[in-house]
Each structure stands twice: as C-alpha cells, then as structure tokens.
Chains A and B, each alone.
Chain A
C-alpha cells in the first residue's frame, strides 16, 4: 500500500525530474515573446500564438509534437503541406491594393532591386558553410515578408522554420530602426530633398482586374515552382478587384486569415523545441537575416540613385528603400525621412508604389529561386 502511494507520488513528479535546462531557457524565451507581443504590442497576432506554442512544446513528457500530439497534427496538416502560408497569401492578395504600382509602373523596378539582399545573403550563407537548402531558407528572410519566409523554409529547411520566421517578423517590425541610417548614409541632402509631385494617373477597373490574371500567367510560366505563391496572392487580389465575390474576399482577409494565423503561429512555436532551437546556428540565422534586410535597403537606395540620375533628378532615391516588401512600414519610413529634409516633400504615394512592387518582387524572387534550384537539380521537380 505504502509503496504504491510512493510510486503514485513519484508519477506526479516525473515532469519535474525530466525538466532540463534547455526546457527552462526555452520557456523563458517564449515568455519574452509573449511579453513583447502583449506589453509592447510587437506583432501580437503572431507572437502570442508563437510564444504559447513554444511553452507547450517545451513541457517535458507532454509530447505535443510527438506522433500523436495535437500540435504535430496541425503541423503535418498545414505546415508540412504548405497550406497555411498559402492561405495567408490568399488573404494578403485580398487586402493589397496594387493601384499605386499601376499608377507608376516604372517604379516596379525598385521592387525588384529591393530583393537583391536575398541573393547576396544566399551567397554569404553558402560561404559560411550552410547546407544549400538551409542557405536558401536563411536568405529568404531578405524577402522581408513573413509568409514567403515561412513558405520557403517549411519546404526546404523545416528545422530552421522557427529561427527564420522569428527573424523575418522581428526585423520587419524593426524596419523603422534599421532603414533610416542606411538611407541617410547612401544619399546626399540634395537627393533627399527632391519632391516628386502628385501622381494623378487614373487606373481603369479593367487594368486592375487584368493585372492579377496576367501576372499569374506570365510569372508562373517563367517560374513554375512559384506558381502556388503567385497564384494564391493573385487569386486573392482578383477576388478584391473583380468586386463580384465580396463574400469570398471578406472570408479570405478575415475568417480564413484569422484561423490560419492562429494555427500557423502555434505551429511555429511548436518547432521551438529546446534541442533544436538552442544551437549556434539559430544565432547565425538571426545575424544573416539582419544582413539580408540591410542589403535589400542598400541595393534599393542605390538603384533609386540610378533612377534619379536617369530621370534627371525627378525620382527621390529614398523611395528605393521602400522596394523591400515590409508593407506598409517601409513606405512610411520613406515619407518620414523625406519630410525631415524638405517639409514640402510627400513621398508616401511613390514609396507605396515601390512597396507594392516589393511585395510582388519578393514573391517572384522566391519563385525564381525555387525554379533555379530545381534547374540545378538541388530540389526535385
């Protein structure tokens, strides 16, 4: 009788005896994420489920990510299949207005320039000895676009998913701190003062409806591996612009996006198991991600300077910084910086054009990278 009681009590203590230092550290990191989300308001929609998922997965013996764990179930259903990030893309498409881009199409070039950080970081990660697929996942942080980063890393380097997505989302919220010093360093005061005037180019409804269809067909034929990414964003956008499926558009940007954000956040948190996350590699991923976003800004601004030169000073190079896809943070940064040097300078709309270009640019850059890798035989067809 006594021994049975003691065994029973020991059973209650099993969780405590199995608690390792790694678990404790991860629970503290998770609590920090919760604190940043709840008290500081940094991306709470993501950090709350991610932080809580990370606590759950680091409870010893609970086996949330074991074969029958409930987090494993969501992970297999939505992350391994890539369905969750794709559904998020559908919502993003339904929320995005490409009008600023269509008003000023040459600015899409800045959206392409803002993606160079991805490729430069890819080379850097390879030079540092990252495995090819891991290097791709790290470089994609430079897309400065959470869902793109999640999509690519869950496909090629699921063990880096947590590090890559935490890096992608934290740097996105740090854009207002990361970009201005780079922008000031690379431009002269005279360039920063260039006012761009008011754009009053009307865009027809037909153009806005045709845009998502045409982009999908051309970009997917060019980069078939990226067709799921481009296709979902553009389907969402077509639902918005066509104006005939308002119910579906609202579902995509509200109910579907909300449910998927919750489950995706939980799953990302669930990949933060102590023995996988507490590695030097995680720090390296965070460092390279920072470099990727800084390089995007550098190349974007330099390309802006080139356009300034070619247009005889009509384009303010600062808007190049908005060529990254952090939307609409990057465009706001440009507006604030521009008006610091010339009060009569209103760069928000041209910056929005570059920013919308950056959004398409990051999706297409990811698609191109996937297709190039397939061509090189690194990933299967």
Chain B
C-alpha cells in the first residue's frame, strides 16, 4: 500500500535526506522544509521503501502537496 509524504504547510524544500529505493523507518526524516525562516524536518508517516521523490531542493510547495511516496 502506498503512503504519501505530504507538506504540512506552505514552504520551500531545503534538503532531501533519502534516495529512491531506500528503506525508511517510521518517524525518520525524509525531507527538510523551510517555512517562516525555520527548518522543519518532515518524517515518514510509516515504514517502507521510498518509491518516489516528487520534489527537489529549492522548490516551493503548497500545504498538502505530495513530496514523496512510500510503499
């Protein structure tokens, strides 16, 4: 079952911490976002294999936008 990693708020992508194909554990940081001049780590909502990364560093994202997919 695929689970989306969503942006919890409007902001900018700062860093991608994982690669496609990586095994990620629940609560592990996948992406680091910047919002309101603050770095916010976005964690995996569940454990699984990182299937897809949909954003790249520097990109602006909206709240609710899918950042990555875990399967």
Contacts and interface: CB of A to CB of B under 8 A. Distances in A.
B38 A335 contact: yes
Contacts, number: 38
B64 A332 contact: no
Contacts of A346: 8-9, 40, 42
Interface string A328-354: 100110010001000110101100100
B6 interface: yes
Interface residues of A, number: 14
Interface in A287-340: 328, 331-332, 335, 339
Contacts of B64: 198, 200
B48 interface: no
Given A344-B43, A349-B8, A200 B38 contact: no
Contacts of A349: 8-9, 63
Contact of B9 (A339, A344, A348): A348
A199 B63 contact: yes
Nearest to A346: B8
A339 B36 contact: no
Nearest to A349: B9
Contacts of A352: 36
Given A198-B6, A198-B8, A343-B27, A348 B63 contact: no
A244 to B, nearest CB: 24
A199 B36 CA distance: 16
B35 interface: yes
A117 B63 CA distance: 34
B25 to A, nearest CB: 11
Interface of A: 198-200, 328, 331-332, 335, 339, 343-344, 346, 348-349, 352
21 contacts: A198-B6, A198-B7, A200-B63, A200-B64, A328-B36, A328-B37, A331-B36, A332-B38, A335-B38, A335-B40, A339-B40, A339-B41, A344-B27, A344-B43, A344-B45, A346-B9, A346-B40, A346-B42, A349-B9, A349-B63, A352-B36
Interface of B: 6-9, 27, 35-38, 40-43, 45, 63-64
